[in-house]
Structure 1
């Protein structure tokens, strides 16, 4: 929300500072461009080649240049008294009158000076106190020095570009602004130079040039003090900055007064003050420059960091090669009023460009260790040139007479002469490369010593790596070879690991004393910073992490040394190993044994090797991946075969040519044929023709390309030894990859025992029906039989033994007794025997019951959903009676779902009891019938479909087991029966307590 936004004042201040600096830089560049334009367009300036100064005796010639038109008529020390203009003599009172006179005469005009010659010898000869004579000459134009001005402007641009580069690259470092101020002042000092026309722009340019040069000296010295170890020397001195900049401020104030309030110094002293300011400024610059160079040299000597030492080496060399010629060839002659010739000026100004270049080269930190490489290569080129020259001179001396004869008699324009010249040039060109290469060979061999052979065998080693697939051996060889080749002891190899926060894991490390920290997102950092170089230094990672943080650097940070590695950092270089645009590994290298960094040759060698390493590691990883996949496939195959061998059903796979490809152990038990005898043979040679005909009839095709799943139930077959088997078969298409049918899968289940159990169930159902019938008949017949027997006994008591009816009554009584016995036998048949209780697994009893009822449930299109509780305690029960209860409940559920449905059976334990739930999706029970469902002979089924004794019998059995049975039902929502039975443990505890 806008109301919650709080500006970051530090960030705003930093941006405002940067904006002001860039604005001032832009304004300074605009002024410099306008000034350079004016200098290039400046008209010729009248020039007499003499430097005139005001003295008490008049206007005196301080120096006479060699290009002056009066070089033969005047010499230093002569005075000009007047000049002729339009036929009239005018007296010269000040030096500026000469310039005005020349401006009026213009370039090419005729001028005349009245000169006083101060030579005492001439005065004695002529016996004149003041020998005065007229000198006529042509006014020439002053040299413009366009080449020098453009060269100085180029140096200024180099300063500006390097300063802007550092400013934008490391603007968070506090010393960066100091560094940029120094380079911006250098730009102004080198780029700006006022013309002699002295317009308003020239006056501004002259002041800015003076101010920049004055500030340049303290800025440079202050930078050298703050740089690296020199800060400690002046930490205790208060007001050091004020003392350093005070002379510059004083000179700038005096220059401003000289420009804008010249009356402050008086008209006669104005030129002298101006000259004094120029000399003072140049003196300050030279002294501060030498002091700064001494401090940098001290830092170079005391530096412990290899990177800092190499940076300072470039800076010290740059300052030495540029500063010494300037001081010797320009500063000392200028201060001593000696003439500075054009050659001296060129030699003094030429090396000045080395100052910004050396600083820029060291700041970029690119190829810092190449000083030795450059010296070695330069030495080789010089020696090769000398050798070729020596050979050429030897050839000339050896055939000198012949050459002289040819040259004297030959036509210089003939093709023969030209051919000789071209041939000599080609000879020199052809000799140079072989000689240089041979000298380079000897120089490298001397420089690298024993490591030269290792470095030259790099490509062979790379090819050897590319052919290695064993990753551990590859990494060991790589670490050992790199250490020997580069004299490096600290090496680490990182392998890609997507699960690691950095994206890599350390697989090999040598010479490390501590752990290597891998920052998060290392892959991104390496890709960003290695573009164009092929490697990343630890400095780049540190600078990136600092730039991504919110805090500023410390006040002592500087653009050169702020990222110098500390001694605790063991790995300095990271070389990405990339193959097919994929970074598979990273080679990490420390410094050499002497603590130095790698040269560009070393870096190029490792970059070349990293390509071979990337291919080798990628091949090793691919090989390992393929081996892991092969092992996984082998494990999966073994796992699949174990599953096939472990299942209790037979698995038979037949390909399109009717050949058996799979034959598991279950099939061996079913058919009595081993796997070795079956696999690879035609199915017709292994199983009976009748079975094949039945299978193909079910598939509807004459081949073995099943298209859909088919089932065959209770197929009767005979084994080889004549034993009967009842089989269930499932026929399905055998699909390979991408759904291509390659054969037929046949699942064969041996249900012989189940069929026998089903037959026993049918017999039991018959007997149960008979028992129920007998019980019903017995209950109905017992009552009249009891009456008949009673009446017969009463009649027997009323008649005598001799009564003819007595015999009939006895027969009636005997028949009633006989009928009663028959009824009792029927009752005994219908009743179950004495219950024998033991520990029973409820889930096992339920499984057996469902197995017995499977045929009836299958024909009713009813799905059974089982949820068996795990680790259930055992029940103290009679398994057969519980089986009868379960059977009654399941059959009632089946009858309640005539069009099919779902029966959910759940077993579990709750509060020390076993709980069984039977929930169907049938028609449900009417509320008025729920109270009567346990009554004998109560049924809602059609006549002949039930006796009404099933739930009554079940209720009695549950009561006999000490359990309880509940029912919940609504019409149309099915019925839910719940049975609770005591566990064997609770029953034993109850018996023990009793």
Structure 2
């Protein structure tokens, strides 16, 4: 069977089920099992996709003729059981109860013959129906039309959604609980909604037909099996190990009945219809049972997280199957032939089923289903209201234009549409904003608050205060039980440390290497641990840290393509996980936080550089101020830019009077002339013993060095003048020269005295000897005494010269007189 409407074939839906391959023998190793399972899934998936694509192409190339009448076999002839209103049969005058004898003069006995005749004629052909109405023969001309199969496109879209979600969950979280089971359910659902036989019933069409039958019978059992074991096995499944196989017995029994009916019994339209009704009832019963199991498990769930997991899975399942059952299955069971918009819309709701369950497996949390459900309801109602108001405004404005300006014609209608679109856009935004505020209440407000808070973060330059405000605001807004911020200490490879935390008391070292490890989840903007005590992919030390932290979400904060921090968050205070909107909001905030952290670090680094610069500046100034020579610097315009304290003392001019003044105004013309003379030449120039007149009227003798003041790139930016005051040194040098002269005189006198003493001693000795010999001669004796006295006088003069020339000093000290005597 198929969901599509074929001529005289009632709409129904049969799906195929992909059962698990039989368990491999115990001798198979795990690697072989994995390869076998992957290979089988790849073959079945590719085969199903190929069949679905070919079936779609064939259906497009092969229009099915349709006469709008449901003919059933009765007493060896075809009787009109139902006639579609405004259909080809109704327009030709066919009434329920009419008996069809011939079509185009060809006798008919069963529905198969009618189908062959209709296919032979084709759509848009005129066919003569020979009828009997209450024993009255009559002929009706019926113009066949192509069967309405637009519903098949909607069903194929649902099938593609099932397959895409199943593949996404399997490839991203193939180790998650029930992910393989869920993919098989999605693959079978793809076959159910994508396989639609055309009625040609050739070999390919029979393959599509039986694939659809198997999928129809297997999909409800797979769904009931899934809801009975996810997120954990129900109690009745634990107590009765044969409960799971029992789910598949009704489908197996119906398949056997279907095969037997088509092979052993005469294939009539009534038989096909009864089989369809039986299998539709089977589908509805299993869907309702699955919803009942979810509702019962939700009400009996004791754990908050389990209750939250089941909350929206239950609601999503009920929302998906209720419209389908009431607006599709029940009308089909009642024999409705037409495909109306309500029936098509009810099929779309089936897309919520894989979306809800797939996200539950992928994240092992269901807060997002709350979001999906609310958004779907909110924006469906809002869109309907907006569309109604929009077209009403177009109609009103068009009527006004047509009334006031009758000659406007189509141009007036176009102008009405343009004006309405321009005027209605603010109204649409207002309705959407009010809907957000009404349905999301505090969430709407705190999201706006957090985004504004993130934009203002960069204004805080103190890193510690900024991190404290982030932790405080996020913990109070999202109501999480614990939170932490980890900062990187190095660039390559990054190493993280705990910088700020909330609701946590940690002791000992933490191995945070798992934050810097590359992982595929990083491309999603965050990585998530559904169970912090079970992370087998991490290293043992990292497992202990993750369990100790108990943070489920780690969101990187990036700046300039580099991760500089991580936001770590746990569950809410009620034990729930965050919704995807919360996580997306945090990912948006993480960009602001990363920029704010980088700005705070740059500001801190800048403060350190400024402090270091000030310290070096003070150090250099202290060096200049501490040296005992005068130092001044002039710019290229010869204005004084620096003047140290030694210059103040030496030149008797305060610093404030010297700075920024031209050199020619401060120094005498003689010095300025010498400065201009040497500044024209490169290199260092010296002025020795230059006599510099000071403003105080003194004259200082200086040694001056004039050198160019250059940058690191050797660009001249001024001149440096160093003045060494040597006035006192020159005076000391003069005194030293005089002392040297006196010392030379003393040495000369000592030498002369020594040379003179010798002849004086000889003269004195001989004079004394002659004086003794001439004692009897008074005249000669007096002459000899005079000679002796003059020699003593000359000797005393020489001794005085010797005493003057001696450099040794007199030293008084204690002596032992006894030893001397």
Q: For residue 147 of structure 1, what is the aligned residue in structure 2?
A: 150
SS of corresponding position for 2:83: coil
CA contact (8 A) 2:188 2:218 kept: yes
Q: For residue 22 of structure 1, what is the aligned residue in structure 2?
A: 42
Equivalent of 1:65, from 73, 77, 82?
82
Equivalent of 1:539, from 510, 517, 528?
528
Q: Does 1:666 align with 2:646?
A: yes
Distance 1:247 1:295 in 2: 13
Instruction: Give ranges in structure 1 of 5+ residues lacking alignment.
Output: 1-8, 123-131, 555-562, 774-780, 790-813, 835-994
- CA 724–42 in structure 1, closer or farther in 2 if over 3 Å, else same: closer
Equivalent of 2:631, from 623, 629, 651?
651
- CA 602–30 in structure 1, closer or farther in 2 if over 3 Å, else same: closer
Q: For residue 38 of structure 1, what is the aligned residue in structure 2?
A: 58
- CA 566–686 in structure 1, closer or farther in 2 if over 3 Å, else same: closer
- CA 330–741 in structure 1, closer or farther in 2 if over 3 Å, else same: closer
CA contact (8 A) 1:451 1:486 kept: no
Alignment length (residue pairs): 747
The one-character-per-residue Cα deviations of 1:10-57 (angstroms, maximum 9, x if unpaired) are 78975674454233211221122223333344475798833348xxxx
Q: Does 1:49 align with 2:66?
A: no
The one-character-per-residue Cα deviations of 1:663-721 (angstroms, maximum 9, x if unpaired) are 22333454555434544455456556555555555x363xxxx6322345666778889
SS of corresponding position for 2:178: helix
The one-character-per-residue Cα deviations of 1:130-153 (angstroms, maximum 9, x if unpaired) are xx9999888997974422333322
CA contact (8 A) 2:73 2:79 kept: yes
Distance 1:387 1:193 in 2: 39
Instruction: Give the alignment of 1:531-610 within 5 angstroms.
Output: 536=525, 539=528, 569=551
Distance 2:460 2:262 in 1: 91
CA contact (8 A) 1:486 1:592 kept: no
SS of corresponding position for 1:661: strand
CA contact (8 A) 1:572 1:589 kept: yes
- CA 389–148 in structure 1, closer or farther in 2 if over 3 Å, else same: closer
Instruction: Give the alignment of 1:376-455 within 5 angstroms.
Output: 376=378, 414-415=406-407
TM-score normalized by the length of structure 1: 0.54
Distance 1:65 1:753 in 2: 135
Deviation at 1:644, TM superposition (A): 0.9
The one-character-per-residue Cα deviations of 1:430-467 (angstroms, maximum 9, x if unpaired) are 886677677667766766779988888999x7799499
The one-character-per-residue Cα deviations of 1:392-425 (angstroms, maximum 9, x if unpaired) are 9999xxx9xxx9xx99xx99x9438999999998
- CA 86–657 in structure 1, closer or farther in 2 if over 3 Å, else same: closer
Q: For residue 288 of structure 1, what is the aligned residue in structure 2?
A: 286
Equivalent of 1:341, from 334, 337, 342?
337
Q: For residue 715 of structure 2, what is the aligned residue in structure 1?
A: 740
Deviation at 1:224, TM superposition (A): 1.9
Distance 2:640 2:420 in 1: 84
Q: Does 1:224 align with 2:233?
A: no
Q: Does 1:708 align with 2:683?
A: yes
Equivalent of 2:112, from 86, 99, 117?
99
CA contact (8 A) 1:496 1:504 kept: yes
Which one has a bigger Cα radius of gyration?
Answer: 1
Instruction: Give the alignment of 1:11-410 within 5 angstroms.
Output: 17-42=37-62, 49-52=70-73, 64-66=81-83, 99-100=112-113, 103=116, 144-173=147-176, 175-228=178-231, 230-231=232-233, 233=235, 236-237=238-239, 239=241, 243-245=243-245, 248=248, 268-269=264-265, 282=280, 284-298=282-296, 315-328=313-326, 331=329, 338-343=334-339, 346=344, 349=347, 351-359=349-357, 369=371, 371-372=373-374, 375-376=377-378
Distance 1:158 1:541 in 2: 26
Distance 2:539 2:82 in 1: 62
SS of corresponding position for 1:746: strand
> Which is worse superposed, 477-486 or 202-211?
477-486
SS of corresponding position for 2:56: helix
Distance 2:639 2:128 in 1: 126
The one-character-per-residue Cα deviations of 1:278-303 (angstroms, maximum 9, x if unpaired) are 67755554443333323433555577
SS of corresponding position for 1:319: helix
Distance 1:386 1:104 in 2: 46
CA contact (8 A) 2:528 2:552 kept: no
Distance 1:318 1:185 in 2: 20
Instruction: Give the alignment of 1:777-792 within 5 angstroms.
Output: none
Distance 1:342 1:738 in 2: 89
Distance 2:267 2:140 in 1: 26
Distance 1:455 1:166 in 2: 29
CA contact (8 A) 2:482 2:503 kept: yes
SS of corresponding position for 2:50: helix
Distance 1:199 1:391 in 2: 53
CA contact (8 A) 2:83 2:94 kept: no
Instruction: Give the alignment of 1:917-956 within 5 angstroms.
Output: none
CA contact (8 A) 1:330 1:340 kept: no
Q: For residue 768 of structure 2, what is the aligned residue in structure 1?
A: none
- CA 309–253 in structure 1, closer or farther in 2 if over 3 Å, else same: closer
The one-character-per-residue Cα deviations of 1:528-569 (angstroms, maximum 9, x if unpaired) are 9688xxxx45539999x9898699xx9xxxxxxxx9x99954
Distance 1:662 1:597 in 2: 67
Distance 1:235 1:184 in 2: 24
> Which is worse superposed, 584-593 or 376-385?
584-593
SS of corresponding position for 1:708: coil
Q: For residue 616 of structure 2, what is the aligned residue in structure 1?
A: 636
TM-score normalized by the length of structure 2: 0.63
- CA 232–373 in structure 1, closer or farther in 2 if over 3 Å, else same: closer
Deviation at 1:180, TM superposition (A): 1.4
- CA 85–615 in structure 1, closer or farther in 2 if over 3 Å, else same: closer
CA contact (8 A) 1:218 1:245 kept: no
Distance 2:34 2:359 in 1: 27
The one-character-per-residue Cα deviations of 1:147-201 (angstroms, maximum 9, x if unpaired) are 2333322222222222222233333435322221111111111111334333322
Distance 2:164 2:627 in 1: 81
Instruction: Give ranges in structure 2 of 5+ residues lacking alignment.
Output: 1-28, 749-754, 763-790, 812-821
Instruction: Give the alignment of 1:907-926 within 5 angstroms.
Output: none
CA contact (8 A) 2:631 2:721 kept: yes
Deviation at 1:323, TM superposition (A): 1.6
- CA 303–666 in structure 1, closer or farther in 2 if over 3 Å, else same: farther
SS of corresponding position for 2:197: coil
SS of corresponding position for 2:634: strand
Deviation at 1:759, TM superposition (A): 9.9
CA contact (8 A) 1:215 1:245 kept: no
SS of corresponding position for 1:188: helix
SS of corresponding position for 2:683: coil
